[in-house]
Structure formats: structure tokens, C-alpha cells
Amino acid sequence: MSTRSRSLFVVALAALLGACSNAVPKSETPSDELPALILPADLVADAGQSRPVGASPDVTPDRGDDRVADNRPADPRPADNRPADPLRAGALVVAAPQPGSYALIIGIEKYRDVPAATGARGDAERFAEMARTTLGVPEENVRLLLDDRASKTDIAKQLRWLQSNVPAGGRIYVYFSGHGAPDPTSGASYIVPYDGDPQYLGESAMKMTEVLGDLEKTKAKDVLAIADSCFSGAGGRSVLAPGTRPLVRVEPVKTTARVVLLSASTGAEISGPSADGKGGLFSKYLIDAIGSGQADINGDGQISLKELEDWIKPRVKREAKRANRDQTPSVQVGKKLGAPADFIVSWGYAK
């Protein structure tokens, strides 16, 4: 075919297509699924076309990957203002407020005379946030003592404050994150305040049984005392005087009638850090359990002491084993408080 003949053919074809563009024949195939018109390559070149007829210049070709489209509507808010996913971000949930509750929270990381208890301050700050948000403790009822503001005198003053202010029928949460120490002679357990010295425990530290006794003297209906420390003298969050043997026989701490004692480990074990080294292993799971409501095992909208223990204990034991140590959280319940299943730690979680 000569060049002149080809040009005449293209012009005629274009006129024919223009005349038919408004008359779409009926078809069982939807119009947007009809195959594109195929023209001989030499005719397309002669007509000055750079793409096959029917192709769109704005369509990005399919790359053949396996991504799945997200059909959820886009959140118009800036990324910084969007609510966090509580399961991914570890966000605290809001449970029922407890207007009659009080919290004394102590976190000592930097000590005056003994090595640091890594992550203890952060543990206490996170617990305080959870106390306000999830446990619903009123802000004016929260006392937070950190580092050099947690001397023996500071802690003693706040225990007296609880005795003077907690009304009859109220509840107290006490949380301690820091070093514990055993008396090498008697095996008695002490919590070590900021200015504590393991060589002079009787003068500078606070015996656990005496702290629990001070809590028993309040008017509270019940007390949940939590200790992320250890008393074995074997390392971790436990300290000994220089020259003493690394492990002493620790006498079990006996709680009082209206106090629950939840400890990070048993007397002969080490209370160690979480895998990321940012805080205590026990505190990590404690805050996850209550703060996100994960310990509500039966889904009834509340967390009992038994559920809390059953959720925390296997996780702490498993992660401690991976670090080649033994750590077993323990619970003691005062004789006036009934069974662990009857002691409700927090409530009001969405079902």
C-alpha cells in the first residue's frame, strides 16, 4: 500500500470512529471491560500515535505485588493527633474511678551510697500514671516519691499521712521499686531508701514487717502493697554490706490482717530487669496486666488478685528463664481479706 493510500485509510477510519462514538452497541460485557481496539503497528505510527489506542496516560501499571488494599476511610486528623492503638502502643485504659482510694508510690533508681537500681524511677512513674488513669485514684490522693525525695524520713512521713487521711472503708495502693536488702544475721528483709546503707540497716533502712505494720494502722478496708525489689542479696534489686556472703537465708515476710503483699520474687531469688533493660521485669507485666486490662482473664470487666497472679507469674518466670535466672512473683493475703479470687484489684473495664 502506498503512503497516500495509507493516509486516506487512516482519515476514513478516524471519521468512522467519530461517527460511532455516541452509539454504543448493547453488549453482555460492561463497556468499561471491553477490550481495547487493536490497530496495525504501521498504521499507528503513520497516524502519529505514541501509545496503543485505549491506553490511559494516567494509569500506573500493575507491578504485580501482593499488597492488600486498605479500604478503611482515611483519618483526616494529623498523625500526631490520632489515638494510639492500645494493643500496639501499650496505652493505658480507663477503668472505674475509685474516689476513696489512695496511692503511695516510691521509685529509687539513683542512691546516695549504693549502686543504682536501673529503671526503678521509670517503673514508679509508669505505675503512678496507671494509678491515676486505670485505677482511678484521685490526683490529690497520690503521693509519688522519687530518688532523693524518697529518704527514710520522706517515706515515714507519707506513711503517717496515710494513717491520718485515709477514711474508714478506703483502699490504699503502695508500690515500691528499688533495692531491698537482707539482714545478714537475722535474715529479716528491708527496703532501702535513698539514704539507706546496707552496713547499718537498722538505722538507715526500713524493715518490711514494720512498713506493713504501719499500713495496718490506717483506717483502710484493705491495702495492696507491691514490691519490685528482692531481699536475697544475690544481685539485681538487692544489696549487701561489703564482705558479707552473696546469699543469706531470708526469712519470709509475713503480711498483716488487712494487707495483700505482692512481691516480684521469692526470698531466695533475684528480681531482675526486663529484656529491654528499661525497667523491672515484674513491673513491666504488672502494668501491662492492670493498665491494659489484659489480666481480666474471664472477661467480666474486673481483675481479681487471683487473675492478676495467674497472668503475671508465668510470663515473669518464662522471661527470667531466658535470662538464665529464677524469678517467681508471690502473693500473700491478709487473713481478713478472704481468698485471692475475692479481692478485686480494679474494675470497670469495657467488656
The pLDDT tens digits of the residues spanning 254-284 come to 899 999 999 998 877 777 888 888 889 999 9
Predicted local confidence at residue 78, as pLDDT: 43
> All 3 cell numbers of residue 53?
489506542
Predicted local confidence at residue 330, as pLDDT: 93
* Three-point CA angle 138, 279, 231, nearest 5°: 95
Handedness of CA 127, 259, 103, 147 (dihedral sign): negative
pLDDT score of 21 more than 50: no
Of 111, 100, 142, the C-alpha closest to 125 is 142
Provide the edge-to-edge strand list for the sheet that holds 142-146.
Answer: 142-146, 101-107, 171-177, 222-228, 259-263, 330-333
Coil/strand/helix, residue 196: coil
25 phi and psi angles, rounded to 5 deg: -65, 150
Give residue 151's identity as a one-letter amino acid code.
S
Per-residue pLDDT of 55-103, as tens digits, reads 333 333 333 333 333 333 344 334 433 333 333 335 899 999 999 999 9
Hey, which residues does 93 pair with through a beta bridge?
none
- β-strands 171-177, 180-182: how paired? unpaired
Predicted local confidence at residue 270, as pLDDT: 77
DSSP-H helix ranges across the chain: 3-20, 41-46, 86-89, 120-133, 152-165, 201-204, 208-216, 281-291, 305-322
- β-strands 259-263, 189-191: how paired? unpaired
* CA end-to-end distance (rounded Å), the chain: 80
> All 3 cell numbers of residue 269?
531469688
Give, in order, the Cα–Cα distances in Å from 293 to each of 228, 263, 304.
20, 20, 11
How sure is the predictor about 184, in pLDDT bands with cuts at 50, 70 and 90?
confident
Coil/strand/helix, residue 175: strand
Predicted local confidence at residue 268, as pLDDT: 73
Per-residue pLDDT of 98-137, as tens digits, reads 999 999 999 999 999 988 898 999 999 999 999 999 999 9
Least confident of 47-51, 191-195, 226-230, 292-296: 47-51
What does the CA dihedral 225, 349, 285, 211 come to, rounded to 10 degrees?
A: -10
pLDDT score of 197 more than 60: yes
Phi/psi region, residue 147 (left: phi>0; alpha: psi -120 to 50; beta: rest), is left
Distance, in Å, from the CA atom of 188 to the CA atom of 43, rounded to the nearest integer, reads: 99
For the chain, domains (ranges, CATH) are: 96-347 (3.40.50.1460)
Distance, in Å, from the CA atom of 148 to the CA atom of 146, rounded to the nearest integer, reads: 6
Give, in order, the Cα–Cα distances in Å from 187 to each of 24, 114, 235, 268.
96, 20, 16, 11
DSSP-H helix ranges across 143-247: 152-165, 201-204, 208-216
Distance, in Å, from the CA atom of 36 to the CA atom of 250, rounded to the nearest integer, reads: 85
pLDDT score of 193 more than 80: yes
Distance, in Å, from the CA atom of 221 to the CA atom of 255, rounded to the nearest integer, reads: 15
Q: Higher pLDDT residue, 147 or 66? A: 147
Provide the edge-to-edge strand list for the sheet that holds 206-207.
Answer: 180-182, 189-191, 206-207
Of 151, 148, 140, 155, the C-alpha closest to 105 is 155
Distance, in Å, from the CA atom of 15 to the CA atom of 47, rounded to the nearest integer, reads: 13
